[in-house]
Amino acid sequence: MREENNRRKEFEDIAMEHIDSLYSMAIRLVFNKEEAEDLVQETYLKAYRFFDTFQKGTNIKAWLFKILRNTFINKYRKAVNLPSEIFYEDVESVNSNLSYKQESDSGELTDTLESKYNELGNLMEDDVKRAVDSLPIEYKEAILLSDVEELSYSDIAEITNVPIGTVKSRLNRGRKLLQKSLWEYAKDRGFIKRGK
C-alpha cells in the first residue's frame, strides 16, 4: 500500500498543477464546459493508470497533453475531420518562400503594420477566442501548445505525432491565418466604436 501512496503522491505533485493548461486546451477543442471537464478527467485517470510508462525527467506537461489529444481524437474522431497532411505539406513547400516576398512587394505589410498593431487594442477577449476557435484544428493545437504553453517544437512534434518540420509549417500558416482574422475582428470593433 505504501508503494501506491508514494505513486499517488508523486503523480499529484507533478501532474495536477497542469490542470488549468489542460482544461484551457480542452475547452478550445470541445467548446463545451462539461465535455472539457470530462476530457480533462479522463486524461488524468488514464495518465495515472499508466504513470509507470511515463519516463521520469521528461516533460510531464507534454506527456499529459499527448494523452489529452489522444483521448480527444478517440472520442471525437468521427466528428473531427482531420485533413490530409500531404495537402498541407505540398502547399507549404510551394508557398513558403513566396509569401514574404509577395507581402513586401505589395507594400501592404509596412504600410499597415503599425495601424494593424493599434487596431489590436480594439479586440475583446471573445474576439480572440473566436479567432482561435475558427482555426483548423491542427493549426490551433500547434499555436496553443507553442504560444500559450510554450512547449518546444520537439515536444509539440511528439504530442501531435508529426515531424518537427510539420510543426513549424503549421505554426507558420496558423499564425498567419490567426493574424488575419484577428485583424478583421479588430477592424470591425474599431469601426463600430468610431461609428457611435
Partner 1 sequence: MVCVEAIKHLYEFMDKEIDKSQYPIIKEHLGNCFECRQRYEFEKGVRSLVKGCCISTTAPAYLHGKIIEGLGSVDAEISENKDIQAISEQKVTPALFSPRLYAIAASILLSIAGGVFYYANYYNYNIDSTSIVDNAVKNHVVAVNDNLVFNEKTSVVGNVNKYLGNTINTKLGNSSPLLNAERVSIAGGIPVKFCGTSSPCVVFDKGGNKLSLQIIRNSGLPIRDLERTRLGLKEFYIGSYKGFNSVIWEEDGSTYCLTSDINKNEILRFAATLTSR
Q: Which of 65, 62, 85 is nearest to 155 (CA)?
A: 62
Q: How many CB atoms lie within 10 A of CB 6?
A: 10
Query: What single string gives the DSSP state of each residue in 60-122?
Result: HHHHHHHHHHHHHHHHHTTT--PPPHHHHHHHHHHHTTHHHHHHHHHTHHHHHHHHHHHHGGG
Q: Which is nearer to partner 1, 16 or 192 (CB)?
A: 16
For the chain, helix (H) and strand (E) counts, in that order, are 11, 0
Of 2, 13, 53, 193, the residue at the interface with partner 1 (CB under 8 A) is 53
Q: Whole-angstrom Cα distance, residue 38 to residue 35? A: 5
The answer to whether 69 and 76 are in contact (CB under 8 A) is no
Query: Which is closer to partner 1, CB of 94 or CB of 114?
Result: 114
Could you identify the residue written with the cell 475558427? 134
The verdict on 2 binding partner 1 (CB under 8 A) reads no
Among 60, 65, 146, 159, binds partner 1 (CB under 8 A): 146
Select 14 or 128, whichever has its Cβ closest to partner 1.
Answer: 128
Identify the CA nearest to 52 among candidates 10, 2, 13, 1: 10
Which residue lies nearer to partner 1 by CB, 95 or 195? 95
Place of cell 489590436: 120
Based on the shown chain and the rule CB under 8 A, indicate whether residue 12 belongs to the binding site for partner 1: yes
Smallest distance from partner 1 to CB 93, Å: 15
Identify which of residues 50 and 196 has a Cβ nearer to partner 1 in the complex: 50
In the range 63-122, which residues lie near partner 1 by CB under 8 A?
67, 70, 73-75, 77, 82-86, 100-101, 104, 109-110, 113-114, 116-117, 120
| Contacting residues toward partner 1, per CB under 8 A | 1, 4, 8, 11-12, 16, 19-20, 22-24, 27-28, 33, 37, 40-41, 44-45, 48-50, 53, 67, 70, 73-75, 77, 82-86, 100-101, 104, 109-110, 113-114, 116-117, 120, 123, 125, 128-129, 132, 143-144, 146-148, 152-153, 161-162, 168, 171-172, 175, 178-179, 182
